Amino acid sequence: MGVKQKDKMLWVISMVLSMLMLVNGYPRISEHEIKTQKKNLTIDILMPGAHPSEEDSYICTSWLSEMEDTVYITKFEPLASADVVHHMLVFLCSDAKSPGTKWDCGHHQTCEESKIMFAWAKNAPPLTLPPDVGFRVTPGSYITVQIHYAKVFSSAEPPDSSGIRLHVSYEKPKNIAGIYLMVASDIRIPPNKEIVHSDVNCFSESTDAPIYVFGYRTHAHVLGKVITGYLYNATAHEFREFARGNPQWPQAFYPVSKPLKITSEDVIVARCTYSSVGRNRWTYVGMTHNDEMCNLYLMYYTDAIRGEPFFRCMDQQIALAKPIPADSDTPPPDNPNFEELAKGKNLGQVQAYTYAMENERGSESTSQAPSLLYNYYKEEPRQGRDFDNRNGYREVKGWANFGIELGQVTAVSLDPLGRVVLFHRGDRVWDGTTFDLRNRLRNANRGPISSDTILILQPSDGHLLESWGKDKFYLPHGLVIDQSGNYWLTDVGMHQIFKYSPKGDILLTLGEKLVPGGDRDHFCKPTDVAVLKDGTFFVSDGYCNRRVIKYSPGGQRIMEIGRAGSDAGGFLAGLFRNPGPTDFLIPHNLAMDHGRGILFVADREHGRIEAFTTNNMTAIGSISFPEAAGKVYAVDFLPQFGGLLFAVNGPNVFRPMKAFVIRPRDSKVLASFAPDKGSLAGPHDICVSPDGTSVYVAEIQSPQVWKFSLVSGMGKKSEDETPARPLRADERPISPSPEEMTNDAVKVSKFAVKEDTSQGIVLPAFLALLLLVVVLAVVIVYRKRSQHRKSVKAYTKTEKFAERHEGFRKLNTHDTDDDDSGDSDTEVFNRASTVRQ
**Residue list for the binding site for Cu(2+):** 86-87, 148, 219, 221, 293
CA distance 85 to 160: 9
Radius of gyration of the chain (CA): 30
Q: Specify the DSSP element, H or E, that contains 38.
A: helix 31-38
Closest of 17, 835, 808, 813 to residue 433, by C-alpha? 813
The values of phi and psi at residue 44, to 5°, are -95, 125
Summarize the annotated binding site as residue ranges: 86-87, 148, 219, 221, 293, 412, 425, 477, 479, 543, 588, 604, 684-685
The binding site for Zn(2+) consists of 477, 588, 684
Bridging pattern class, strands 224-233 and 196-203: unpaired
Positive or negative, the CA dihedral 747, 749, 750, 754 is negative
User: Could you tell me which residues are beta bridge partners of residue 720?
Assistant: none
Rounded distance between C-alpha atoms, residue 286 and residue 681, angstroms = 65
Task: Report the alpha-carbon distance of residue 628 to residue 649 in Å, rounded.
Answer: 5
Position 629, amino acid: A
- Of 456, 394, 350, 308, the C-alpha closest to 80 is 350
DSSP SS3 for 303: strand
Measured between alpha carbons, how far is residue 432 from residues 428, 441, 492, 825 in Å?
13, 11, 14, 11
For residues 285 and 663, what is the distance between their CA atoms, to the nearest angstrom? 44
181: number of Cβ within 10 Å: 19
Numbered residues of the known binding site for a protein: 425, 543, 604
Cβ contacts of 456 within 8 Å, gap of 6 or more: 415, 419, 420, 421, 464, 465, 466, 467
**β-pair partners for 538:** 530, 550
Of 173, 65, 70, 71, nearest to 129 by C-alpha is 173
Q: CB neighbours (10 Å) of residue 732? A: 13
Among 654, 734, 639, residue whose Cα is nearest residue 690: 639
Buried b (16+ CB within 10 A) or exposed e, 637-649: bbebbbbbbbbbb
Are 636 and 648 a contacting pair, CB within 8 Å? no
SS3 68: coil
H helices within 652-700, ranges in order? none
Binding site residues for Ca(2+), as ranges?
412, 479, 685
Identify whether the C-beta of residue 399 lies closer than 8 Å to the C-beta of residue 462. yes
571 φ, ψ (degrees, to nearest 5): -60, -50
First-to-last C-alpha distance (Å) of the chain: 37
Give buried/exposed letters for 407-436 (b at 16+ CB in 10 A, else e).
Answer: bbbbbbbbbeeeebbbbbbbebbbbeebbe
Regarding beta strands 598-603 and 587-593, do their DSSP bridges make them parallel or antiparallel, or are they unpaired?
antiparallel
Contacts of 782 (CB under 8 A, 6+ apart): none
What SS3 state is found at 34?
helix
